[in-house]
Structure formats: structure tokens, C-alpha cells
Structure 1
Amino acid sequence: MSSESTTTPEARLHNLGLEIPAVAAPVAAYVPAVRTGGHIYTSGQLPVQNGQPIHRGKVGAEVTLEEAQAAARQCTLNALAAIRAITGELSTITRIVKVTGFVASAPDFTAQPQVINGASELLGEVFGDAGIHARSAVGVAVLPLNVPVEIEMIVEA
């Protein structure tokens, strides 16, 4: 058995130099995540660190592709924080089922899937085969707080 298969998702994040933040406070009337049956649905998570967006603006204008990918990673960490608040630990996740990514895009920007790869690749690194998921990457005019990316997830746990 490889050491990767016996390592927890939290340990894999640590090995990547990442950690799960505190659950981000909602910016409106909702909860960060809800469990129903064997699934957990997260609300849309923004690229916020220490209460502040890490980037603002539209991808392809004020925000580069690389910055947007980093924002997608931060959104994913925030989604995992919301999930862990329900499960107690990430190792209870048996499958990342679906990721939906919203990208605030300049009118001529069409690389939304590459932006959301920031989330998908992180989930693959942390969860291996269980991190392979269905996905949508949607371009939008604007997102809350003028952030470039928002991610929501459905996981089985």
C-alpha cells in the first residue's frame, strides 16, 4: 500500500503547504454547507482569506488566469472548511461528486474551464481518485464582493 493511500486529506494539504482555514462567514442569509442523506452541499465559496478577498475584478481584465486559478484554489479550501465543519474531518469524504465554478469574466475571456482547473487539480491532489468529479465552469458578469471566482461543491460523505 502506498504512503499516499494511508495519508489523510489534511496531511496531503499540509504536504502541499496548504491548510484548511476557519469557515468563512456568510455574506448573506444562508449557511456555508448542508448535509442531506449521504451528501453535503456547500454554498458558493469566495476566494477569501482572513476575511478579505485575495483578488478582485474580472478575469481577463483586472485578474490574470494564474491569479484566478489561485482564487479557485482558495474557494476550494473554503468549501473544504465548510464540509469539515459538518464531518469533523475530511477523511470521511468518499467522493467529490460535483464542482460548479463561476468566473467573473471580461467580455472576451473564454478560458473559464482553465480557471476552475485550479479547484479540480487541488481536489485530485488531495483526494486522489475520489477527487475526480463532474464539473461546470460558467462565465458571469459579476460576483459578490467583486471577486473573480466562486466555487460550490457536492460531496459524498
Structure 2
Amino acid sequence: MSSWSSRLSELGLTLPPVVPPLAAYQPAVRTGNLVYTAGQLPMVDGELMFRGKVAEGAEGIVSPDDAKAAARQAALNALAAVDALVGLDAIVQIVKVVGFVASADGFAGQPGVVNGASELIGEIFGDAGKHARSAVGVNELPIGAPVEVELIVEVKP
């Protein structure tokens, strides 16, 4: 493979613009050979894809399938933050994915939701996308988002 950028193109994907911070932080920070992203929400053109807590079958609730799609978008947004800081092609390994899922009472499907992020990473990076992961259920996320994703990425020196 010539580059991660070309792999993204092969998949028909483009990185979105970096989502501007909602508070006092940077979208991504490098220390040594690691880049840490801030938690990224499923923003598209300045708006959340979905809003609310995740559960099965309740009206006014984000479905697990929609939340999985939102996690995929949040991961794309995190990759955009990495790209803006060091360039996508500097990535050596995706080290860790952390996903937070705003969960309605009784919802325990966080791993399936965060698979939206993990599967995207696998599609793009193959073996270099094999990562450690946390999928955490939380009561609320910023601005009513159903998911938030952050990455830790190893980059070239």
C-alpha cells in the first residue's frame, strides 16, 4: 500500500474538516511518537448526526445501529484531527480507541456501538489498525451527543 491517504481514497472516504473545539482544548496533541486526540463527536457540517441516549426500540432514543454509524463518523473526525497535526501518512499504528456511549438505563450494547469506530480503523489501516479499546457507557455527553471517540496513535519520529 502506498499510503493511508490513498487507502482512504480507495474506500471512497474523505476526511472531514477538523471539528473546532467546543471548549479550551486542542483537537490533537503530539508527545514523542504518540498523538492523542480529544474526544470527537459525530459532527457533520457543524451539526450532530444524532442527538440523545442510545437504547433498543424506544421512541426519541438513538438506535444502536445509528449510534454505530455515529461512532464511525466520530472516528473519522478523530483521524482528521491527527491528519491536521502530523498528516495521516505519518501513522504507524492505531494504539487505542476509547468510545463513550450515552446510554439509556439498561442499555449494555456499548461494545457493538464502538465497533463503528473500530471497524472503520480496521478497514483503513488493516494490521496497523489493530488496537486496544475501551467502550464505556455514560449518562450524558457534550451537547447531547450519543457517542464520543478518542484515539491514541503512534506516528513516525
Identity of aligned residues (%): 60
Partner Cα distance (1:72, 1:11) in 2: 22
Cα distance per residue 1:24-65 (max 9 Å; x no partner): 000011000000000000000000011000000111141111
Equivalent of residue 101 in structure 1, options 96, 99, 102: 99
Q: Distance in 1 between matches of 2:14 and 2:68?
A: 17
46-55 or 56-65, which moves further after superposition?
56-65
The corresponding residue for 2:69 is 70
The ranges of structure 1 where at least 4 consecutive aligned residues each deviate by more than 3 angstroms after the TM superposition are none
Distance 2:68 2:34 in 1: 26
TM-score normalised to structure 2 length: 0.93
1:31 maps to 26
Question: Given the two structures, how large is their TM-score scaled by the length of structure 1?
Answer: 0.93
Q: How many residues are treated as equivalent by the alignment?
A: 151
Question: Partner of 2:94: helix, strand, or coil?
Answer: strand
- What's the RMSD between the two structures over aligned residues? 1.0
| In structure 1, distance between residues paired with 2:10 and 2:79 | 16
Q: Give the partner amino acid of 2:8.
A: L
Give secondary structure in 2 for the equivalent of 1:12. Answer: helix
Q: How does 1:8-87 map to 2 (within 5 A)?
A: 8-60=3-55, 61=58, 62-87=61-86
Deviates more, 1:58-67 or 1:22-31: 58-67
1:143 to partner: Cα distance: 0.3
> Unpaired segments of 5 or more residues in structure 1?
1-5
